[in-house]
Amino acid sequence: MYGLGILKGLSVTLKHFILTFVDDAKRGKARYQSPQGIAYRQSTELSGLFTVQYPEEKLPVPEEFRYIPFLVYEEEDGQKKLRCTSCGICSKVCPPQCIYIVRSVDPETGKPVPNPAEFCIDVDICMNCGLCAEYCPFDAIKMDHDYEIASFDRIKHHVFDISRLAKPVSYYASIRPKNYKTEEEAREAKAAAKQGAASV
């Protein structure tokens, strides 16, 4: 019969439609506005609606998620100490060349000091590729998880300088616990090896 194919197709739509309500009734309130609900809507057992109602609900991002980079600083006796040594590898590897670094110079000797005087990222140009974080030998620049950076004035707000880029190690450890752990272990192993070599 002509038209049967269309009806068959529409039965699939109808099934989807009904399943939406069945699933809502079965799971009740926990399906929406709760972390378990979001996890369920991201899982492959899902039936029914799969939309997430941003901004009331937000998908959790995986650890490797990357957005605009930030600079990691350590807090030592109340002082913020950037891990960055201004070696310039991030700025060299950056494909769109959006990282600008001014190296500090010791005012007395005129020799470069391992510390950036200025560090800015033009976030209009940054393509979030993550190469800077990947090749930084000091784990000083890392990719962020904060993806809500819209602003009203691009001239004023879209060039991030040190004050905007610097974030504490504790923040880094909170967004990337696994990476942080492996890096710390590697660092300790290296320090131990160095100490061992020195004592021998």
Partner 1 sequence: MSDHSAIVSTIAEVLPEWFLPDNRPGYAGLIVPSERIHEAAEYLKDQKHFDMLTSVTSADYFPEDRLEMVYHFRRSTGGEPLRIKCILNRKDSQIDSLVDVFPGAELQEREVWDLMGVRFMGHPDLRRILTWEGFAGHPLRKDWKEPFFEEEIKPYKSRWPDGKFIRAEEKNPLGDNLCFPPGFDPESWVPDKDETLYKSMTRVAKAGEDGFDSDTIIVNLGPQHPSTHGVFRMVARLDGETVVDLKPVMGYLHRNHEKIGERNTFLGNMPFTDRLDYICSMSNNFAYALAVEKLLNVTPPERAEYIRVIMAELTRIVNHLVANGFLLNDLGAFFTPVLYSLEEREFILDFFEAASGSRMMCNYFRFGGVVRDLDEHMMGMLKAILERLPRKMDELEKYLIGSEIVRVRSEGVGILTPEAAIANSATGPLLRASGVPYDLRRADPYSIYDRFDFDVCVRYHGDIYDRFMLRIDEIRQSIRILKQAVRDIPNGPVLTGKPQYQVRVPAGEAYGRVEGPKGELGFYLVSNGKSNPARYHVRAPTFINLTSLAGMSRGNKVADVVTILGSIDIVLGEVDR
Residues that bind partner 1 (CB under 8 A): 2-6, 8-9, 12-13, 16, 42-44, 50, 61-66, 86, 88-89, 91-95, 97, 99-103, 112, 118, 120, 122, 127-131, 134-135, 143, 155, 159
Length of the chain counted residue by residue: 200
What is the rounded (10 degree) CA torsion for 195, 73, 91, 146? 130
> What are the backbone angles phi and psi of residue 102, rounded to the nearest 5°?
-110, 125
> CB of residue 42 vs partner 1: minimum separation in angstroms?
6
Q: Which is nearer to partner 1, 3 or 107 (CB)?
A: 3
CA distance 186 to 189: 5
Other Cβ atoms within 10 Å of 168 Cβ, number: 14
Q: Which is nearer to partner 1, 72 or 89 (CB)?
A: 89
**The two structure tokens encoding residue 179:** 């990476």
> CB of residue 196 vs partner 1: minimum separation in angstroms?
23
Q: Which is nearer to partner 1, 62 or 78 (CB)?
A: 62
> CB of residue 28 vs partner 1: minimum separation in angstroms?
22
CA distances 115 to 139, 144, 159, 184, Å, are: 14, 21, 20, 22
Q: Which is nearer to partner 1, 33 or 128 (CB)?
A: 128
